[in-house]
Structure 1
Amino acid sequence: MPASLPLALRAMAYNNAWANHRLLSACAGLTQTQFEAERAGFFPSLQATLNHILIVDHFYVDALEGGRLGPAAWANRIPCPALPALKVAQEAVDRRLIAWCEALDDAGAGRTIAVHRGSRVQEERADRLLLHLFQHQVHHRGQAHAMLSGTGVKPPQLDEFFPADEAPLRAAEFAELGWTEQRVWGEG
């Protein structure tokens, strides 16, 4: 377990990216029609739900980086209509979030982030903003996971628990993403 809040937040950023990777990789087994199909959930399709995750990442990662994107993030509710483009865009914003969290130290975790909300600027501590973002993404990935279970594609495991006999699977996925366990957990 990480010894500090910045290390824990960094591990959460990696886990967030890994869960996105696993879910989007599983969705690659769907046709475009299945991806767009109306389903029960807060958003009406896998396409809409997964694009919402991307949009919210753009909104908050931009704020963390000092940007002023604000509500313009929602100008296009489906910025990536097809899964291949969505996967590329999600991986890119996930890398930005990881990079931001890797640079985080104890002082930075408590610093104030300006979140541009259009008519006002909300000030939020970085650690609280990150915890909110991670919770939001888990919430909507869970909805997408449930939607995926209504298709012929088996939903993937999305948390960090893997039995010992599945460690090679995790290692292979981490290698595909360019990571190691040591990097994720800040060891070595």
Structure 2
Amino acid sequence: MTDPTRVFRKLAYNNRLANLRLHNAVGDLFQGEWEAKRTSFFPSIRATLNHILIVDWFYVDALEGGTLGPKAWENQEPFEEIGQLKDAQRLVDERLIALCEGLTDGSLAAPVEVHRGTRIQLDRCDDILSHLFQHQTHHRGQVHAMMAGTTIRPPQLDEFIVGDDAAARAAEIFDLGWNEDWLMR
């Protein structure tokens, strides 16, 4: 039997794991590296990680039925310090996991209202989730590339939660309070 919600659950957990790895690595940067001007879509690691966060707020709120809309962008860089950003990202990651844990076959096709200010975008839940996961991956990749120009080696982010990679994530899975058997369901 196939469970169409499984891939979204796994993507939500993978998102949390990737953000944990990236934020831990960024937390080890030397003074000035986090906010230093770099070549990318956004001008710094700090700006890019803040962008990921506010877009997560925007879409997770919409997926939860909220009306945050463009208010998410009122402050383009709400966090100057990595510790504060890491905490805020963890909270929205946990909301996304909870949302994906609650998905059903029917809810994947349910319409989601995305408040765009002057209009309401109406798209399927699975399409919004796919877009969100693509957005996160895209910008984490940019941070990964920017980190290559710092004193800290970029972490591995291209792992998907497959059984063969269990040893590579064992410490993080323990820290997160997760269980491999449960993740692989």
Shorter-chain TM-score range: over 0.9
- How many Å separate the matches in 2 of 1:111 and 1:84? 36
Helix, strand or coil at the partner of 2:33: helix
Q: Considering only aligned residues, what root-mean-square deviation do their CA atoms show, in Å?
A: 1.9
- The amino acid of 1:179's aligned partner reads W
Is 1:44 the counterpart of 2:43? The answer is yes
- How many Å separate the matches in 1 of 2:57 and 2:108? 19
- How many Å separate the matches in 2 of 1:3 and 1:164? 18
Match of 2:108 in 1: 109
How far apart are residue 57 of structure 1 and its match? 0.3
- How many Å separate the matches in 1 of 2:97 and 2:161? 22
How far apart are residue 5 of structure 1 and its match? 1.9
- How many Å separate the matches in 1 of 2:161 and 2:139? 22
TM-superposition CA deviations, 1:158-183 (whole Å, max 9, x none): 02269999743412101111212222
Q: Which runs of 5+ in 2 are unaligned?
A: none
User: Size of the alignment, in residue pairs?
Assistant: 185
Q: Which runs of 5+ in 1 are unaligned?
A: none
- How many Å separate the matches in 2 of 1:69 and 1:47? 23
TM-score by length of 2: 0.94
TM-superposition CA deviations, 1:87-129 (whole Å, max 9, x none): 0000000000000000001001110010000000001100000
Structure 1 runs of 4+ off > 4 angstroms? 161-166
Match of 1:148 in 2: 147
- How many Å separate the matches in 2 of 1:106 and 1:32? 48
- The amino acid of 2:96's aligned partner reads L
- How many Å separate the matches in 2 of 1:149 and 1:162? 24
State whether residues 171 and 180 of structure 1, in contact with CA within 8 Å, keep that contact through their aligned partners in structure 2. Answer: no
- How many Å separate the matches in 1 of 2:4 and 2:153? 34
TM-superposition CA deviations, 1:140-174 (whole Å, max 9, x none): 00000000111010001002269999743412101
- How many Å separate the matches in 1 of 2:51 and 2:143? 11
Match of 1:126 in 2: 125
Match of 1:93 in 2: 92
- How many Å separate the matches in 2 of 1:89 and 1:6? 26
- How many Å separate the matches in 2 of 1:31 and 1:155? 14
Between stretches 172-181 and 120-129, larger displacement belongs to 172-181
